[in-house]
């Protein structure tokens, strides 16, 4: 008999076994009302308290923080998803998302791997100040950047830059841990070989598993370097993967990676629906975006008045969310990339700049709500939080 497509899903057999067990032991396992709530809270907790159980130096500018639960089991996640950390850095309570680099099969901890951003508030705090044994507040796992067997091809072409390797590390570890039927071509761009995060592990995995191909691409290599050099171009990708058909492309990294690699993939005539890209934070250098009012500089200051609260000064080049947080005002946030809607505020007076493609629900637009993480003041504002 022909196999149903669902039989090919990862974990299909496990689900069938669970259904059989449920039928057999129905009385014992049908959850009661409160038990159901416990399950839901475990899967989608409002907040987690995580303990730093280990700090692992990966490169001179990168560390992995191994995080265990301080209050019960960790919620499951899909390889590629992120958690948001909510540290208090000096007077500022803020949040930043970090992809989980450990695989979902590792249920005892989440690893997050943080690279230093020059003058960055949270990355420097996590790299320099956090110690083993400290606790930190976090969200549950979230995000849409994962392999979906209904939509994606089994051959994944992954393009990573710098710390953008982290979701791919989780995916690759997941594939090799569970022996999944998938092929991965990982192109990983870095400035020098010293910057390659997980280099030894990736090289080792690629030498053991015929379905994982690791292609580091080094911008400024030593003269003796024999691998691929420069940036990740369409020609480099084509040379390694050959035919681009029946392959889904996944990209993750800083803005510069998208700016360079998306046009390169266009040269290979890959349809947009075959390219998945992870969000990687608010736009940097918003004043260089198309449509930005020329007379307004990054440092131009505007007054933001919170209805029923205080007023403060905000710089045009800084997201409204970051400016609000600097005043010690807490606004919920998760993705900080304009996707999850958690940070919505209502603009009652004045204008903000939102880069083209910012996703806002139609009803939000009608009633003046914006995602404060990707909105930048270009006039004096009155807002409702």
Residues that bind ligand FES (CB under 6 A): 333-336, 338-343, 371, 373
- How near is the Cβ of 321 to ligand FES at its closest, in Å? 6
Report in angstroms the alpha-carbon separations of 360 from 215, 238, 364, 365.
37, 36, 6, 7
- How near is the Cβ of 18 to ligand FAD at its closest, in Å? 30
Backbone CA torsion sign across 145, 158, 100, 358: negative
Pick out residues in 104-123 that bind ligand FAD (CB under 6 A).
112-115, 117, 119-123
Pick out residues in 190-229 that bind ligand FAD (CB under 6 A).
none
Angle between helices 199-208 and 166-178 (to 10 degrees): 30
Q: Are 130 and 112 in contact (CB under 8 A)?
A: no
Stretch that binds ligand FAD, among 15-23, 44-52, 240-248, 275-283 (CB under 6 A): 275-283
**By the rule CB under 6 A, 337 interacts with ligand FAD:** yes
Could you say which of 147, 185, 198, 280 contacts ligand FAD (CB under 6 A)? 280
Pick out residues in 283-302 that bind ligand FAD (CB under 6 A).
284
Contacts of 328 by beta carbon, 8 Å cutoff, 6+ apart: 91, 92, 93
- How near is the Cβ of 95 to ligand FES at its closest, in Å? 8
Rounded to an integer, what distance in angstroms lies between the CA atom of residue 136 and that of residue 42? Answer: 18
280 binds, among ligand FAD, ligand FES, none (CB under 5 to 8 A by kind): ligand FAD
Stretch that binds ligand FAD, among 69-77, 226-234, 331-339, 368-376 (CB under 6 A): 331-339
- Helix runs in the chain, H state only: 12-24, 26-29, 33-43, 121-128, 166-178, 199-208, 234-241, 255-266, 320-326, 362-367
Structure tokens belonging to residue 234: 């369409």
Q: Are 47 and 137 in contact (CB under 8 A)?
A: yes
Residues 155-194: x where in contact with ligand FAD by CB under 6 A, - otherwise, as a string = --------x--x----------------------------
Q: Are 188 and 276 in contact (CB under 8 A)?
A: no
162-199 as b/e: b if 16+ CB within 10 A = bbbbbbbbbbbbbbbeeebebbbbbbbbbeeeebbbbb
99 binds, among ligand FES, ligand FAD, none (CB under 5 to 8 A by kind): ligand FAD
87 binds, among ligand FES, ligand FAD, none (CB under 5 to 8 A by kind): none
> To the nearest 5 percent, what fractions of the chain are helix, strand and coil?
30, 30, 45
Q: Are 365 and 341 in contact (CB under 8 A)?
A: no
- Nearer to ligand FES (CB atom), residue 84 or residue 252: 84
- How near is the Cβ of 319 to ligand FAD at its closest, in Å? 9
- How near is the Cβ of 248 to ligand FAD at its closest, in Å? 19
Q: Are 364 and 370 in contact (CB under 8 A)?
A: yes
- How near is the Cβ of 286 to ligand FES at its closest, in Å? 15
Residues 88-107: x where in contact with ligand FAD by CB under 6 A, - otherwise, as a string = --------xxxx--------
- Nearer to ligand FAD (CB atom), residue 218 or residue 334: 334
Q: Which residues bind ligand FAD (CB under 6 A)?
A: 82, 96-99, 112-115, 117, 119-124, 143, 163, 166, 254, 278-281, 284, 335-337
């Amino acid at each position: 008999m022909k196999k149903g497509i669902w039989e090919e899903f990862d974990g299909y057999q496990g689900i069938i076994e669970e259904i059989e067990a449920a039928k057999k032991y129905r009385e014992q396992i049908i959850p009661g009302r409160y038990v159901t709530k416990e399950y839901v809270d475990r899967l989608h907790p409002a907040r987690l308290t995580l303990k730093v159980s280990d700090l692992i130096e990966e490169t001179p500018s990168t560390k992995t923080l191994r995080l265990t639960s301080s209050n019960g089991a960790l919620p499951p996640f899909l390889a590629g998803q992120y958690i948001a950390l909510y540290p208090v850095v000096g007077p500022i309570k803020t949040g930043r998302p970090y992809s989980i680099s450990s695989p979902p099969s590792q249920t005892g901890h989440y690893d997050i791997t943080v690279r230093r951003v020059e003058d960055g508030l949270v990355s420097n705090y996590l790299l320099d100040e956090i110690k083993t044994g400290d606790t930190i507040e976090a969200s549950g796992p979230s995000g849409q950047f994962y392999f979906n067997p209904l939509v994606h091809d089994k051959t994944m072409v992954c393009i990573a830059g710098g710390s953008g390797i982290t979701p791919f590390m989780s995916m690759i570890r997941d594939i090799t841990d569970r022996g999944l039927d998938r092929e991965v071509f990982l192109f990983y761009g870095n400035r020098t070989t010293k910057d390659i995060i997980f280099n030894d592990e990736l090289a080792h995995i690629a030498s053991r598993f015929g379905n994982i191909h690791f292609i580091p691409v080094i911008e400024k290599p030593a003269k003796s370097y024999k691998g691929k050099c420069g940036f990740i171009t369409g020609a480099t990708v084509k040379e390694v993967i050959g035919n681009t058909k029946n392959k889904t492309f996944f990209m993750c990294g800083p803005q510069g990676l998208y700016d360079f690699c998306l046009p390169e993939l266009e040269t290979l005539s890959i349809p947009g629906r075959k390219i998945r890209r992870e969000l990687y934070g608010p736009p940097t250098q918003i004043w260089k975006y198309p449509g930005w009012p020329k007379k307004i500089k990054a440092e131009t200051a505007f007054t933001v008045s919170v209805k029923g609260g205080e007023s403060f000064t905000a710089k045009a080049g800084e997201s409204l969310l970051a400016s609000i947080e600097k005043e010690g005002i807490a606004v919920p946030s998760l993705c900080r990339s304009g996707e999850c809607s958690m940070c919505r505020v209502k603009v009652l007076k004045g204008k903000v700049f939102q880069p083209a493609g910012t996703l806002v629900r139609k009803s939000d637009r009608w009633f003046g709500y914006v995602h404060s993480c990707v909105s930048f003041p270009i006039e004096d504002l009155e807002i409702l939080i």
